[in-house]
Chain A
Amino acid sequence: MSFLSLNHIEHYYFSKQGYTKALEDISFSVPEGSFISLLGPSGCGKTTLLSIIAGILQSTRGEITLQEKPLSASKSDIGYMLQQDYLFPWKTILDNVTVGPKVQKTETRALKEKAIQMLEDIGLSKVIDSYPQSLSGGMRQRAALVRTLITDPKLLLLDEPFSALDFQTKLKLEDLVSSLLKDFNKTSVLVTHDIGEAIAMSDKIYLMKANPGKIHQVFEVPIEIRNLSPFQARKHIKYQQLFDRVWEELNALESQTAIR
């Protein structure tokens, strides 16, 4: 049974000069508990697609169902993580983390305790009442992760959440996110332009091409890598093989667009 399914999604951006087709005929489905990646060069419409799945943007054509229901009925089941943490600088970490429940009017005492517990688990116990500007980039992104998970979303959307971090922090956070998502059996969609990250974290990779944004090819990640943590996966021999295949495909795509 498919958990999330996209049927013939198309999206146009209109402007005075005309219109551009950002996405063309995108259809795929994601089984429950799995992790997929949307990989592609910049301008291929990855983030647009993610915004459509999140319900922030309305697609021009096509429909999305989440657990067999149209998307609009299940807004609170989706968690969205952005490229940067976007923690509100005027709120403490705890208030930042509980902003979702506050907006959804489900803020309770028990939930606050859950938030504190989650912050402690993730290693932020010392900064619960601090303001975001006193935290490092990695800590801020971890707080943003707690903010996303606190509403207990069934579907998690990750928009290059590690791209603004330094390499070491990024690897650590990948491991953390991966193990958390496995523990809670979350379904996730990751948008990235980092081939290694896509392979290390996901079960399936959708390679997109630009102009218009379209799914070009689908890669299944070998089962041996899937069960490893992202850090371990990067050392596996099959990781390198898949990396090379994706790399060549991306290169081929680029030279194609260059000729056109």
Chain B
Amino acid sequence: MNHKQLSDSQLFEQYKKQVTSERRNTLLWQIIIFISFFSIWEFASQFGLIDRLIFSSPSQIWTLFLEKLQDGSLWYHLRITLFETIAGFFIGTIAGIILAAILWWSDKLSKVLDPYLVVLNALPKVALGPIIIVAMGPGYFSIITMGAIISVIITTLVVYSAFNEVDVNYVKVLKSFGASKWQYFTEAIFPASLPAMISTFKVNVGLSWVGVIVGEFLVASEGLGYLIVYGFQVFDFTLVLYSLLLVAFFAAIMYQIVEKLENILIKNK
């Protein structure tokens, strides 16, 4: 008996050990890939295996990074692009959810607008860039609009279909208490669609970066997208790669924030 109990707890210990070692192993490989990517890049560049002019090298980017950090221009450009992206993300996502709610509210409207939404969704939104810039003037407004417009239609479609897929019986429960349409929207439809909304947040983080960077390509005189285009024009690819790495880093951070938000909002699922 005693022997069996011991082996039970031993099994548990073994299981725990296995889980931690697996996690450690995954992390180890992630670090190995990270380090080897940058060191291979550095060596290849040092020994002339790749063109230094085009592919630069991590050490050159690092030097540039320190330089830009000291003269304050890193923060200056980063701040602008971050602001535009976050604003674009919020405007696009919230407008999409509001549009979805309007469509859900009015059956007739959603039937009438259906083909237009399909066309708008298929249309590559960045192609609207020149028109937006001419209409709204070159500046923050048109770039934020780019960041928002790229995600608004897809958000509308995804959230609208999530609203429609909510189990009708939840509504039935509320209707039996005499709930109004607004009441069963706020009590059942909206909270039940929260997971779908969070997943559109995740997609929209990426999309609003695309919109803002393209917007900056077209018009801006500041921001990371501008630095990429500028670096390309003066053939300074260290600058291009430096901006690119910054974009990648902050896009990842925004994604992480959304994931944290997901954990908080739908912990009771």
Residues in chain A within 8 A of chain B (CB atoms): 54-56, 75-76, 78-80, 82, 84, 86, 88-90, 99-100, 102-104, 131, 133, 147, 151, 157
Contacts and interface: CB of A to CB of B under 8 A. Distances in A.
A131 B268 contact: yes
Interface stretch (B57-65, B88-96, B173-181, B211-219): B173-181
A100 to B, nearest CB: 4
23 contacts: A54-B176, A55-B176, A56-B175, A56-B176, A75-B178, A76-B177, A79-B176, A82-B172, A86-B167, A86-B170, A89-B268, A90-B191, A90-B192, A90-B268, A99-B177, A100-B177, A103-B177, A103-B178, A103-B183, A104-B177, A133-B268, A133-B269, A157-B176
B188 interface: yes
B31 to A, nearest CB: 37
A76 B179 CA distance: 10
Interface string B72-99: 0000000000000000000000000000
B169 A86 contact: yes
Contacts of A76: 177-178
User: Interface extent on B, as a size class?
Assistant: 20 to 34
A32 to B, nearest CB: 20
A82 B169 contact: yes
A136 B264 CA distance: 25
Do most interface residues of chain B lie in helix, strand or loop, or is the interface mixed?
helix
Contacts of B174: 99, 103
B194 interface: yes
Per DSSP, chain A at the interface is: mixed
B67 interface: no
Contact of B187 (A75, A86, A103, A147): A103
Contacts of B191: 88, 90
Interface string B146-187: 000000000000000000000101101111111100010001
Contacts of B179: 103
A84 B169 contact: yes
Among B177, B192, B269, find the residue whose CB has the most chain A CB atoms closer than 10 A: B177
A164 B169 CA distance: 15
Contacts of B183: 103
B269 A89 contact: yes
Contacts of B187: 88, 99, 102-103
Contacts of B176: 54-56, 78-80, 157
Interface string B122-162: 00000000000000000000000000000000000000000
A86 B177 CA distance: 14
**Which interface residue of B169, B173, B192, B266 has the most chain A CB atoms within 10 A?**
B173
A90 B190 CA distance: 11
Given A56-B172, A80-B172, A86-B172, 12 more contacts: A80-B173, A82-B169, A88-B187, A90-B192, A90-B194, A90-B266, A90-B268, A90-B269, A103-B179, A104-B177, A104-B178, A151-B177
Interface string B27-57: 0000000000000000000000000000000
A102 B172 CA distance: 16
A240 B249 CA distance: 74
B170 A88 contact: yes
B248 to A, nearest CB: 35
A82 B191 CA distance: 21
A204 to B, nearest CB: 23
A75 B172 CA distance: 13
Contacts of B172: 56, 80, 82, 86
A100 B187 CA distance: 11
A79 B177 CA distance: 7
A104 B194 CA distance: 24
Which residue, of B169, B172, B176, B179, has the highest number of chain A Cβ atoms within 10 A? B176
A99 B192 CA distance: 15
